[in-house]
Structure 1
Amino acid sequence: MIDELARAESAVAACADAAAWALAEHDLIAALDATHRLQQRLAAVQLAVVRELDGRGTAVAQGASSTAGWLRHRLRLDVAAARRLVSLAACVDAAPHGVREALASGAVSVEQARVIADTAAAVSASAGVEVADKAVGVLVEWAAQFDPSLLRRMGTRILDHVAPDLADAAASAALDAEAARAARDRHVTISEQAGGRLRLSGTLDAEAAALLRAVIDPLSAPSGPDDTRCAGQRRHDALADVCRLALRTGELPENGGDPAQLVVTTGYDGLASQLGAGTLDIGLRLTPATVRRLACDAAILPAVLGGAGQVLDVGRQRRLITGPLRRALVLRDGGCAFPGCDRPPRWCAAHHIRHWADGGPTSLDNAVLLCGHHHRHVHQSDWAVRLGDAGHPEFVPPAWLDPDQLPRRNHYHRRT
């Protein structure tokens, strides 16, 4: 397989160097069709490889919390793309053989293959494997004419074509399958943008969508005739109001030993002079005006930082890694410190580098933030943790993973 992929890569590289401008229009169209077909066939190979790696547990063995997390770091994908890749690999692997054949031949696209696989699974559950195989054949033919959205819509009535006598009985099962897909596909993605902004995207199931509208709609109504905000801005402000209301209830669960809260780091002189910007514990920057407004209704804890950003002193330390000491860890590590992990501070526990049971002190020099997965992984594996330059954590991999055992650091979190 490696040799064949190398030859294919060489052939693609030769095409990339060719002059597309010299081709006639019909040749350009033929080239477009060929590249699309090749893209789908190559996707089939990639999905098979991803599924095999996932089944072997390669990602977890190498210290990642999941195959998606490992792919994100390995292939430099965003997290949503990595999760889609793992999900699609599992979906195609579980589908009838005809789906994999159609994708491997370039007859269907990756998204069409997912639609056909989902439809086949629903038909198989309600009408059996033989009927599902017939449905796959029909859907593959339709894929030559219809995009994934139309194909999915037509797939809801596929039994009318392949098993009319079962169509009515399967309608209920199809609705159940759609509900299951909605539960599977529900997600919210939070992506950082320039200037400290966040981009929200995702898919809500029917119940969550109804809840969101119930709280957002009344808060996003125009406040009066002088309200110049557009609808999108009003919804943004309404969401912020909902978050403030939730924080004020005092009923949110703790995160890492502390109550749910905003943690803002800023300089004292800047705060006093109304000129200092601030940094949230998740690395986002705030304007001086925002910092001043938040400080009007906040508990303020003094902290002393060195020139390289290392925390030298934070309030009064306690025996447990909570309170001021935990906030010091958040300032230093920014989140899970394990290489390649992007888990935020609120998902992390504080780990003693030298275990407490072995006489290790509860101090900043003997602590590191780790998410639940990597906390367990460090305890159960041969990874070593130490503080490197400027007091930041670095991790030494076991010899079987890296014979040179070169120290690794996490580069996902901003440093203060």
Structure 2
Amino acid sequence: MEGPLCNDPADEPEAHALCELAAHIHAATAEFSERVAAFDLRDAWGGAGIRSCAHWLSIYAGFESSTGQELIRVGTALAALPLTRAAFGAGELSLDKAKALAGVATAGDEEGWVELGRELTAGQLSRICRLYRQAREGNPEAQLANRGLWTSYREDGMLRLVALLPPEEGALVASVLESIALERSQQPAQAAGETLAEGREAPQVPDPAQDPWAARRADALVAVCEHAAGVAASELEGAPGRTRVVVHVYASLLSGKAEGGRCALEDGQALPPSVAERLACEAEVVELWEREGLPIDLGRSRRTVSPRLRMALNARDRGCCFPGCPIPLRRTHAHHLQHWAEGGRTDLSNLVSLCGFHHRRLHEGAYSIRHERDGSLSFEARNGKLIRAQSQWLDCASA
């Protein structure tokens, strides 16, 4: 198997050995991507709480979800690109090059793209393919389809923001940030708490930013968000209660003590008890006493998870606790391990964070959660098999 041409005068035998090993890795990756694409096409990954084939790969094969998605995308594209498939399988193209070609090559122009892939570095090829896609897809519909904002935390704890906006909206955002940054750069910085005599200049506080102008634009973005948050808070102050979805359900039905009974939305639309049970996990619960079908008394409402308790839960779980699930805590629900209708307490030891998808699947009976003696959680599929990420010990619910 021959890989890319290697020539290292300092250690030529070792250089060729490394290139040969890289070619074997590329060939194995090509086979893996094709097989996992076929695996995805058959929906063979489906199971209790598994969101997608990429999610399955994150649990059982140790890949990041984004890496799994790329492997599936490339493997799927190879079915229509025989030349790329052959070069990738022979170790002549790396996964990075195959990813770039999969986004631009077609049956009519594949040969030229593959030759280009053999000649250029992965970085050079990715840049050319990116520019080509921009020229090909630069229409309003494609821009609207591709718009979005993504966030991720770096290893040093800083939050990275990546945004894609249509040109006119991007120009508006850039203009506002530039204007605020320029205005702030012209304001003298004064030491905190220091009163200056008339005629004296305020001492300048040095900014440690490696790129001062970029830092000012970041400060401008924070200032815009702080202003928006303040406006939203003032608008909400004294406003009427939050919009509600009212569900009528018998407590005995939630606790499993009765099979019949009412379970419906306010307009009469019936709901499965599992849906009402899931909604009740973080709902505002109002006790209503009835006699012969007519309400006779109304108890006071109570919120099952207080804001203080929710903060503690977020600090402990930091996201959905289902194995391999990447959903962050801001999009999770607080689930009672023992439902409140069955006497379960609303405290930290009886709560676990689950995203909407896994919360719904749990109440549908696709899997179950069990407390272990050490306080950790075990996730079991309906057939009794443990669901666990590769080499992962789940401790998000440990006391």
Question: Do residues 363 (structure 1) and 346 (structure 2) align?
Answer: yes
Structure 2 counterpart of 1:36, one-letter code: A
Gap change, CA 1:391 and 1:39, over 3 Å in 2: closer
After TM superposition, give the deviation of residue 190 of structure 1 in Å: 1.0
Which residue pairs with 2:223 in the alignment?
Answer: 241
Q: Any idea what SS the aligned residue of 1:107 has?
A: coil
Gap change, CA 1:400 and 1:156, over 3 Å in 2: closer
Question: Do residues 116 (structure 1) and 111 (structure 2) align?
Answer: no
Question: More helix by proportion, 1 or 2?
Answer: 1
Question: In 2, Cα distance between the equivalents of 1:143 and 1:178?
Answer: 30
Question: Do residues 348 (structure 1) and 332 (structure 2) align?
Answer: yes
- State percent identity of aligned pairs: 25
Which residue pairs with 2:112 in the alignment?
Answer: 138
Which residue pairs with 2:274 in the alignment?
Answer: none
Higher relative contact order (CA 8 A, sep 6+): 2
After TM superposition, give the deviation of residue 213 of structure 1 in Å: 1.7
Question: Do residues 232 (structure 1) and 214 (structure 2) align?
Answer: yes
Which residue pairs with 2:153 in the alignment?
Answer: 191
Gap change, CA 1:173 and 1:91, over 3 Å in 2: same
After TM superposition, give the deviation of residue 36 of structure 1 in Å: 3.1
Which residue pairs with 2:137 in the alignment?
Answer: 175
2:179 aligned to which of 206, 212, 218: 218
Gap change, CA 1:24 and 1:327, over 3 Å in 2: closer
Question: In 1, Cα distance between the equivalents of 2:122 and 2:31?
Answer: 21
Question: In 1, Cα distance between the equivalents of 2:213 and 2:134?
Answer: 38
Gap change, CA 1:359 and 1:241, over 3 Å in 2: same
Deviation string, structure 1 residues 200-257 (Cα, Å, up to 9, x no partner): 15462444643542342223332446464322332332232233223223289x9xxx
Deviation string, structure 1 residues 329-370 (Cα, Å, up to 9, x no partner): 3345333232333433210122233446x6455622544321
Gap change, CA 1:77 and 1:251, over 3 Å in 2: farther
Structure 2 counterpart of 1:143, one-letter code: G
Q: Which piece of structure 1 moves more, 385-394 or 230-239?
A: 385-394
After TM superposition, give the deviation of residue 91 of structure 1 in Å: 3.9
2:81 aligned to which of 96, 103, 113: 96
Question: In 2, Cα distance between the equivalents of 1:181 and 1:150?
Answer: 24
Question: In 2, Cα distance between the equivalents of 1:111 and 1:188?
Answer: 22
Assess if the C-alpha contact under 8 Å between 1:368 and 1:393 holds in 2.
no
Assess if the C-alpha contact under 8 Å between 2:26 and 2:89 holds in 1.
yes
1:85 aligned to which of 47, 52, 71: 71
Deviation string, structure 1 residues 274-309 (Cα, Å, up to 9, x no partner): xxxxxxxxxxxxxxxxxxxxxxxxxxxxxxxxxxxx
Whose Rg is larger?
A: 2
Which residue pairs with 2:295 in the alignment?
Answer: none
Question: Do residues 52 (structure 1) and 25 (structure 2) align?
Answer: no
What is the TM-score with the length of structure 2 in the denominator? 0.60
What is the TM-score with the length of structure 1 in the denominator? 0.58
Question: In 2, Cα distance between the equivalents of 1:339 and 1:89?
Answer: 25
Deviation string, structure 1 residues 46-86 (Cα, Å, up to 9, x no partner): 21233233334455415333333343344444454344334
Gap change, CA 1:390 and 1:176, over 3 Å in 2: same
Assess if the C-alpha contact under 8 Å between 1:352 and 1:367 holds in 2.
yes
Which residue pairs with 1:372 in the alignment?
Answer: 356
Deviation string, structure 1 residues 151-182 (Cα, Å, up to 9, x no partner): 46766999xxxxxxxxxxxx999235897499
Gap change, CA 1:200 and 1:211, over 3 Å in 2: farther
Gap change, CA 1:108 and 1:191, over 3 Å in 2: same
1:37 aligned to which of 23, 27, 37: 23
After TM superposition, give the deviation of residue 377 of structure 1 in Å: 1.9
Assess if the C-alpha contact under 8 Å between 2:320 and 2:326 holds in 1.
yes
Q: Which piece of structure 1 moves more, 148-157 or 197-206?
A: 148-157
> How many residues matched?
304
Which residue pairs with 1:105 in the alignment?
Answer: 90
Gap change, CA 1:245 and 1:390, over 3 Å in 2: farther
Assess if the C-alpha contact under 8 Å between 1:339 and 1:409 holds in 2.
no
Question: In 2, Cα distance between the equivalents of 1:78 and 1:201?
Answer: 19
Q: Which piece of structure 1 moves more, 144-153 or 238-247?
A: 144-153
After TM superposition, give the deviation of residue 375 of structure 1 in Å: 0.6
Q: Any idea what SS the aligned residue of 2:216 has?
A: helix
Structure 1 counterpart of 2:346, one-letter code: S
Q: Any idea what SS the aligned residue of 2:153 has?
A: strand
Gaps of 5+ in 2: 2-8, 189-203, 243-300
Gap change, CA 1:385 and 1:209, over 3 Å in 2: same
Assess if the C-alpha contact under 8 Å between 1:72 and 1:82 holds in 2.
yes
